[in-house]
């Protein structure tokens, strides 16, 4: 039942003002002027009667004025209907507490979770009869287990059923959630008690809470027992460049203060491939590399596992290797290439990571249409463009989404399908040579182009330092775009979009034959970014840590080995199997997967079939690191922040609407006040006119 409460009850003292109109009405009698009369001869003969000195006239007006003042006092006191079950005013005897219980995975260290839960139970048991307790579990998310209640049995049951998760700690949002829970409380004492190991965040955001809320902490001290953690893994091409092998670089940290002896095992497809003994220095980290790891499947599931220690959650690191994470690139060369013609190009592509390029080379004379299949990009390095069937296949390759990079040199283009019907940018013309002792420079690079954005301004500037001695003149056609020019105005880099693919033409060579571009620091990034741009490469979801949200289809595209899932738009919803074999169904147009537990999430079509996509989920390694948080300062900052008035404390729309609803009584009083003011003014005016008329008459 809603009760009536006052925001400013002190204003009710204003009801004492009611005496004012009373005095005015009494005093008004005394100040009435006398009426002139011809003679008092007869009146003086009549025996006098004791005249009442104070007499109230105009009772209606007096009541109106009293009512006006009373309503004014009530309006200033701001009455409102408090929420259900709440007392009409502050209850100084009652105490409301919200217990914030940390359930991040670091609480799994030793008996941390049991002690935290015991501390919460202690708070529940220690409360007074009328006191209420709310319960919130938090890690990266906050889970409201129980609103404020005095039902201790229910709270105990909820605590018994709760367990820690695999996510990291976020303190600020949990505290703010607890403060919101206490917002409507009318208890005399309001407090938030946070039970946590305070690991995971070294410098958390300072949350703002109401000044009347007390903030307390219960630190769960965790013994820094032997604990090693797998903190990072990187998948690299194998050192020998073999396409069916890869390398793994692993980082292992020791959270303990003592040297730790442990083992590191690499498992692929459920089989232990390698096991190594490690000695981890106290508080330090080591890096281990597994080279030439064989690839057995398109999507290979791997697991790195450390020996048992105090915290098991950070001892396992899951990963997925996709064979197609190496973008296949075909380099087409001349039959008799120049000396060192391919060196710069090959080195630049070999150094690429994320993605790595799997490079194959072909002589233009040996090239067949079948060679173009399963390529992400093709580089034509100063060759005469083949016509005929091969030319058509090349056009089809680009139109289907392939990328084509053409570097022009001595070989004069004979077949050059440009213009509206072609797929190549610009029309080739003569060769231009710089005067002896001079060179052309790259003078302008389209700044808004994705390629320029990917390179960054510094590398674009580096490119301007290159000397270009010769280039071939190209006239841009409709639909072509000149991305870069030489300082004499000639086009240096042209682009044409065809179907789903793109073509880039460099009007000079990729080796040092016509320029010294290959010697510039920006050369390697330029080539790698150009191929990423041409292949529309999208990195796979980099952060597959627990708590993150993965766009399944984007992830599939990045892996590029999941064409079946991506293309099969008519196969209904996607089915996700979590590590605990819990099956979820996601619609294809909103296939967002939240990772809750460590392990492999398998994504496939609703119809039974092979696994199409695997997402590896791991815990956030920062959570298990001993905290660098200065707890005392953090608590002090929260209290200081609470005591500081908030200039920007704009209520939310919901809060504003609720306040509006609650104070509708005050608004009604104000409306009545206005009406009464009008009535009082009219009445007083009318009475005044009537009195004047009577006096005049008299």
**Could you please report the per-residue DSSP string of 370-437?**
GGGTT-SEEEEES-PPP-HHHHHHHHHHHHTT-EEEEE--SS--S---BSSS-SB-SEEEEEEEPPTT
If binding is defined by CB under 8 A, does position 430 make contact with other proteins?
no
- Shortest Cβ 687–other proteins spacing (Å): 11
- Shortest Cβ 51–other proteins spacing (Å): 5
Q: Map tokens 């013609």 to a residue.
A: 341
If binding is defined by CB under 8 A, does position 350 make contact with other proteins?
no
If binding is defined by CB under 8 A, does position 580 make contact with other proteins?
no
**Which of these ranges, 32-40, 206-214, 391-399, 634-642, lies near other proteins under the rule CB under 8 A?**
32-40
Identified binder of other proteins from the candidate list 13, 20, 27, 57, rule CB under 8 A: 57
Q: Map tokens 């010294």 to a residue.
A: 516
- Shortest Cβ 695–other proteins spacing (Å): 8
Q: Map tokens 């695997």 to a residue.
A: 614
- Shortest Cβ 18–other proteins spacing (Å): 25
If binding is defined by CB under 8 A, does position 458 make contact with other proteins?
no
**Which of these ranges, 27-35, 90-98, 455-463, 559-567, lies near other proteins under the rule CB under 8 A?**
27-35
Return the structure tokens found at 263: 């083992």
Residue 351: how many CB atoms within 10 A of its CB? 14
CB-count exposure of residue 53 (10 Å: 0-12, 13-18, 19+): exposed
If binding is defined by CB under 8 A, does position 339 make contact with other proteins?
no
If binding is defined by CB under 8 A, does position 43 make contact with other proteins?
yes
**Which of these ranges, 37-45, 418-426, 593-601, 618-626, lies near other proteins under the rule CB under 8 A?**
37-45
Q: 248, 234 in Cβ contact below 8 A? A: yes
- Site string (126-165) toward other proteins, x via CB under 8 A: ----------------------------------------
Provide the CA 466 distance to its chain's centre, in angstroms. Answer: 41
Q: CB-based contacts of 49: which residues, under 8 Å, 6+ apart? A: none
CB-count exposure of residue 54 (10 Å: 0-12, 13-18, 19+): exposed
Identified binder of other proteins from the candidate list 49, 271, 430, 654, rule CB under 8 A: 49
CB-count exposure of residue 117 (10 Å: 0-12, 13-18, 19+): buried
Q: 162, 101 in Cβ contact below 8 A? A: yes
- Shortest Cβ 32–other proteins spacing (Å): 4
- CA–CA distance from 227 to each of 108, 217, 257, 304 (Å)? 12, 25, 9, 16
- Shortest Cβ 657–other proteins spacing (Å): 54
Q: 467, 491 in Cβ contact below 8 A? A: no
Q: Which is nearer to other proteins, 24 or 590 (CB)?
A: 24
DSSP-H helix ranges across 127-239: 152-161, 171-182
Distance between CA atoms of residues 355 and 539, nearest Å: 8
Q: Which is nearer to other proteins, 1 or 41 (CB)?
A: 41
Q: Report the DSSP beta bridge partners of residue 515.
A: 468
If binding is defined by CB under 8 A, does position 34 make contact with other proteins?
yes
- Shortest Cβ 683–other proteins spacing (Å): 17
Identified binder of other proteins from the candidate list 1, 40, 153, 650, rule CB under 8 A: 40
Distance between CA atoms of residues 576 and 583, nearest Å: 6
Identified binder of other proteins from the candidate list 36, 271, 436, 654, rule CB under 8 A: 36
Identified binder of other proteins from the candidate list 10, 51, 420, 652, rule CB under 8 A: 51
If binding is defined by CB under 8 A, does position 42 make contact with other proteins?
yes
Provide the CA 490 distance to its chain's centre, in angstroms. Answer: 45
- Shortest Cβ 30–other proteins spacing (Å): 8
Identified binder of other proteins from the candidate list 45, 271, 430, 654, rule CB under 8 A: 45
**Which of these ranges, 49-57, 292-300, 350-358, 408-416, lies near other proteins under the rule CB under 8 A?**
49-57
**Which of these ranges, 294-302, 349-357, 667-675, 687-695, lies near other proteins under the rule CB under 8 A?**
687-695
- Shortest Cβ 680–other proteins spacing (Å): 21
Q: CB-based contacts of 431: which residues, under 8 Å, 6+ apart? A: 470, 471, 472, 473
Q: Which is nearer to other proteins, 43 or 448 (CB)?
A: 43
If binding is defined by CB under 8 A, does position 335 make contact with other proteins?
no
Distance between CA atoms of residues 88 and 662, nearest Å: 12
Q: Which is nearer to other proteins, 42 or 436 (CB)?
A: 42
Three-state DSSP at 654 gives: helix
If binding is defined by CB under 8 A, does position 59 make contact with other proteins?
no
Q: 197, 112 in Cβ contact below 8 A? A: yes
Identified binder of other proteins from the candidate list 1, 10, 38, 589, rule CB under 8 A: 38
Number of residues located near other proteins, criterion CB under 8 A: 24
If binding is defined by CB under 8 A, does position 435 make contact with other proteins?
no
**Could you please report the per-residue DSSP string of 532-573?**
HHHTT-----S--BTT-EEEHHHHHHHH---HHHHH-TTS-S
Identified binder of other proteins from the candidate list 1, 44, 203, 653, rule CB under 8 A: 44
Q: 543, 489 in Cβ contact below 8 A? A: no
**Which of these ranges, 42-50, 153-161, 169-177, 630-638, lies near other proteins under the rule CB under 8 A?**
42-50
Instruction: List contacts with other proteins (CB under 8 A).
Output: 29, 32-46, 49, 51, 57, 691, 694-695, 697-698
């Amino acid at each position: 039942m809603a009760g009536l409460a006052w925001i400013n009850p002190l204003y009710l003292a204003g009801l004492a003002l009611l005496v004012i109109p009373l005095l005015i009405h009494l005093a008004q009698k005394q100040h009435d002027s006398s009426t002139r009369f011809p003679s008092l001869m007869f009146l003086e003969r009549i025996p006098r009667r004791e005249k009442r000195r104070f007499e109230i006239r105009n009772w209606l007006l007096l009541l109106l004025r009293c009512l006006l003042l009373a309503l004014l006092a009530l309006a200033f006191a701001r009455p409102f209907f408090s929420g259900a079950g709440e007392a009409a005013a502050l209850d100084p005897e009652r105490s409301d507490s919200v217990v914030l219980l940390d359930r991040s995975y670091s609480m799994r260290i030793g008996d941390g979770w049991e002690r935290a839960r015991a501390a919460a139970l202690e708070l529940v048991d220690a409360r007074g009869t009328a006191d209420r307790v709310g319960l919130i579990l938090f890690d990266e998310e906050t889970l409201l287990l129980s609103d404020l209640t005095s039902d201790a049995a229910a709270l105990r049951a909820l605590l018994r059923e709760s367990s820690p998760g695999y996510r990291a700690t976020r303190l600020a949002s949990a505290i703010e959630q607890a403060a919101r829970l206490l917002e409507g409380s009318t208890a005399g004492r309001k407090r938030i008690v946070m039970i946590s190991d305070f690991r995971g965040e070294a410098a958390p955001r300072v949350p703002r809470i109401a000044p009347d809320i007390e903030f307390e902490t219960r630190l769960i001290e965790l013994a820094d027992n032997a604990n090693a953690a797998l903190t990072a893994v990187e998948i690299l091409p194998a050192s020998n460049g073999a396409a069916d092998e890869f390398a793994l670089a692993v980082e292992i940290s020791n959270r303990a203060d003592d040297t730790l002896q442990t083992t590191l095992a690499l498992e692929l497809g459920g089989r232990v491939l390698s096991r190594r003994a490690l000695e981890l220095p106290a508080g330090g980290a080591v890096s281990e590399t597994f080279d030439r790891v064989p690839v057995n499947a398109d999507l290979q599931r791997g697991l790195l596992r450390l020996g048992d220690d105090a915290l098991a959650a950070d001892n396992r690191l899951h990963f997925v290797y996709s064979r197609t994470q190496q973008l296949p690139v075909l380099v087409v060369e001349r039959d008799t290439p120049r000396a060192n013609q391919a060196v710069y190009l090959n080195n630049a592509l070999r150094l690429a990571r994320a993605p790595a390029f799997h490079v194959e080379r072909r002589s233009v004379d040996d090239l067949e249409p079948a060679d173009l299949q399963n390529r992400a990009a093709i580089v034509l390095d100063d060759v005469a463009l083949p016509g005929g069937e091969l030319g058509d296949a090349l056009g089809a390759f680009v139109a289907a989404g392939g990328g084509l990079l053409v570097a022009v040199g001595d070989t004069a283009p004979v077949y050059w399908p440009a213009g509206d019907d072609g797929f190549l940018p610009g029309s080739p013309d003569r060769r231009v040579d710089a005067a002896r002792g001079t060179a052309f420079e790259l003078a302008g690079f389209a700044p808004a182009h994705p390629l320029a954005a990917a390179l960054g301004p510094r590398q674009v500037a580096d490119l301007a330092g290159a000397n270009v001695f010769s280039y071939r003149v190209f006239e841009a056609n409709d639909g072509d775009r000149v991305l870069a020019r030489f300082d004499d105005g000639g086009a240096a880099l042209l682009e044409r979009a065809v179907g789903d693919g793109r073509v880039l033409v460099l009007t000079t060579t990729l080796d040092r034959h016509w320029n010294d571009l290959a010697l510039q620091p920006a050369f390697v990034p330029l080539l790698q970014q150009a191929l990423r741009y041409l292949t529309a490469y999208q990195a796979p979801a980099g952060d597959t840590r627990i708590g993150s949200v993965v766009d399944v289809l984007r992830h599939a595209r990045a892996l590029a080995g999941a064409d079946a899932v991506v293309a099969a738009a008519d196969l209904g919803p996607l089915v996700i199997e979590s590590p605990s074999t819990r099956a979820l169904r996601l619609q294809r147009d909103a296939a967002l997967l939240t990772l809750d537990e460590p392990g492999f999430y398998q994504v496939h079509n609703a119809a039974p079939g092979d696994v199409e996509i695997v997402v590896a989920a791991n815990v956030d390694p920062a959570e298990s690191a001993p905290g660098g948080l200065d707890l005392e300062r953090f608590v002090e900052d929260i209290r200081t922040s609470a005591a500081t008035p908030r200039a920007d404390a704009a209520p939310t729309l919901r809060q504003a609407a609720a306040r509006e609803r609650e104070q509708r009584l005050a608004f009604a009083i104000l409306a009545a006040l206005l009406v009464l003011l009008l009535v009082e003014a009219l009445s007083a005016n009318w009475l005044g006119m009537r009195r004047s008329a009577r006096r005049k008459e008299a």
